């Protein structure tokens, strides 16, 4: 298998004990932790089986997650517990740049129905040269961000971040696309999302539109 030395996939992952806090009224701490770990393991397995040629970096404050990542054959970067998501991603981006990657795909660890065709479509969007591709979440967040180079725009993850990332690309005069990918829009953050987490579809079975 030939490695793609141009693209790094970055997966930010909270400490499992601190994940899925918006589900606190509906799930016990141990249930939230178990859910976060299962989604994370599913994400690593998806990229291992469907995109083994891609390099993958997990940025996390959790030594447990970092150790699991390394055992799975991927890179792990420990961040400051208090740094926050955007600071963690800046740390990961510095790593990607130091390793010589030309572009970086940021994707969360809580997509229940990762779909090979959607990720392939996302990766195939950018021609040579600087560009940004955004896959918004259903609520206007950013569920995937592909940047060439990795530091093409400043990160603004959080509520309604897709529009902020779009403006950042426009301000930098970079070509930018928004892809509304059916499965990639759906993360697991709210109570109504739980059926997808409990009955996740495989990459082969998930419908692609």
pLDDT, tens only, 11-39: 999 886 665 555 555 556 677 778 888 88
When mean pLDDT is compared across 72-81, 162-171, 198-207, the lowest value belongs to 198-207
Half-sphere exposure in the Cβ direction for 58 (13 Å, CA): 26
Q: Pseudo-torsion of CA 196, 197, 201, 206, nearest 10°? A: 50
Order of all β-strands in the sheet with 103-106 = 75-78, 54-60, 4-12, 103-106, 142-148, 131-136, 176-178
Taking the C-alpha atoms of residue 106 and residue 171, their distance in angstroms, rounded to an integer, is 20
Class of domain 4-191: alpha beta
Q: How confident is the model at residue 67 (pLDDT cuts 50, 70, 90)?
A: very high
Taking the C-alpha atoms of residue 144 and residue 152, their distance in angstroms, rounded to an integer, is 15
pLDDT at position 1, please?
53
Domain locations in the chain as residue ranges: 4-191
Query: For residues 76 and 139, which has the higher predicted lDDT (pLDDT)?
Result: 76
pLDDT at 207 over 50: no
Q: Helix, strand, coil: what percent of the chain each, to 5?
A: 35, 20, 45
Q: Which residue has the tokens 């961040």?
A: 79
Half-sphere exposure in the Cβ direction for 206 (13 Å, CA): 22
CA-based nearest residue to 179, from 168, 166, 189, 167? 166
Taking the C-alpha atoms of residue 133 and residue 121, their distance in angstroms, rounded to an integer, is 11
Digit-coded pLDDT (tens) for 76-117? 999 987 678 999 999 999 999 999 999 999 999 988 789 999
Q: How confident is the model at residue 47 (pLDDT cuts 50, 70, 90)?
A: very high
Query: For residues 161 and 208, which has the higher predicted lDDT (pLDDT)?
Result: 161
Tell me the pLDDT of the chain averaged across its residues: 84
Query: For residues 127 and 129, which has the higher predicted lDDT (pLDDT)?
Result: 129
Q: Would you call the peptide bond into 149 cis, given omega within 30 degrees of 0 as the criterion? A: yes
What sign has the CA pseudo-torsion 130, 171, 137, 84?
A: positive
Q: What is the pTM of this model?
A: 0.84
| Distance set, CA 19 to CA 36, 101, 123, 195 (Å) | 6, 29, 28, 18
Instruction: Read off the tokens for 115.
Output: 């779909």
Q: How distant is the alpha carbon of residue 29 from its chain centre? A: 23
């Amino acid at each position: 298998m030939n490695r793609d030395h141009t693209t790094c996939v970055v997966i930010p992952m909270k400490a499992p004990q601190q994940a899925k806090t918006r589900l606190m009224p509906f799930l016990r701490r141990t249930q939230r932790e178990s859910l976060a770990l299962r989604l994370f393991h599913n994400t690593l397995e998806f990229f291992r089986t469907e995109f083994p040629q891609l390099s993958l970096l997990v940025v996390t404050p959790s030594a447990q997650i970092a150790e699991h990542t390394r055992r799975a054959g991927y890179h792990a970067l420990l961040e400051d517990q208090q740094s926050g998501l955007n600071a963690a991603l800046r740390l990961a981006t510095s790593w990607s740049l130091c390793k010589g990657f030309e572009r970086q795909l940021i994707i969360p660890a809580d997509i229940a129905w990762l779909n090979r065709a959607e990720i392939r479509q996302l990766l195939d969007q950018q021609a040579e040269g600087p560009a940004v591709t955004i896959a918004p979440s259903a609520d206007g967040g950013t569920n995937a961000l592909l940047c060439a180079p990795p530091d093409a725009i400043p990160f603004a993850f959080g509520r309604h971040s897709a529009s902020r990332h779009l403006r950042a690309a426009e301000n930098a005069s970079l070509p930018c696309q928004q892809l509304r990918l059916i499965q990639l829009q759906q993360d697991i953050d709210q109570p109504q999302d739980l059926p997808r987490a409990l009955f996740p579809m495989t990459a082969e079975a998930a419908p692609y539109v």
